[in-house]
Amino acid sequence: MIRINKYLQEAGVCSRRGADELIRDGRVMIGGRVAQLGEKICVPDPGLHVCVDGKEVVWQEKQRILLAVYKPVGIVCTEDPREKDNIIDFLQYPERITYAGRLDKRSEGLILMTNDGDLIEQMMRGRNAHEKEYEVTVDRDIRDEDLEKMSQGVPIEIEVKGMVMTRPCQIKRRGDRSFNIILTQGLNRQIRKMCAHCGYDVVSLKRVRVMNILLKDLKPGAFRPVTDEEIQELMALMNA
Q: pLDDT of the chain along its 240 residues, tens only?
A: 788 888 887 777 887 888 899 999 999 999 889 999 989 888 767 778 899 999 998 877 668 899 999 999 999 999 899 999 999 999 999 988 889 888 999 999 999 999 887 777 777 765 567 899 999 999 999 999 999 999 999 999 988 888 999 999 999 999 999 999 999 988 999 999 999 999 999 999 999 999 999 999 999 999 999 999 999 999 888 876
Return the CATH architecture of domain 66-126+212-239.
Answer: 2-Layer Sandwich (3.30)
Tell me how far apart the alpha carbons of residues 194 and 176 are, in angstroms, rounded to a whole number. 18
| Cα separations in angstroms, 184 against 53, 77, 132, 218, 221 | 41, 20, 6, 23, 26
* Residue (of 134, 195, 206, 215) closest to 170 by Cα position: 134
Give yes or no on whether 66-126+212-239 and 131-210 have one common fold.
yes
- Residue 88's pLDDT is what? 94
Spans of all domains in the chain: 2-57, 66-126+212-239, 131-210
Residue-wise DSSP of 86-100: BHHHHH--SS--EEE
- Residue 195's pLDDT is what? 98
The residues assigned a catalytic role are: 104
Output Rg (C-alpha) for the chain, integer angstroms.
20
What homologous superfamily does CATH list for 131-210? Answer: Alpha-L RNA-binding motif (3.30.70.1560)
Provide the whole-model pTM. Answer: 0.77
Handedness of CA 144, 145, 151, 155 (dihedral sign): negative
Tell me how far apart the alpha carbons of residues 64 and 122 are, in angstroms, rounded to a whole number. 15
Return the CATH architecture of domain 2-57.
Answer: Roll (3.10)
* Residue (of 149, 159, 154) closest to 179 by Cα position: 149
Neighbouring CB atoms inside 10 A of 16's CB total 20
The three-point CA angle 88-90-91 to 5° equals 70
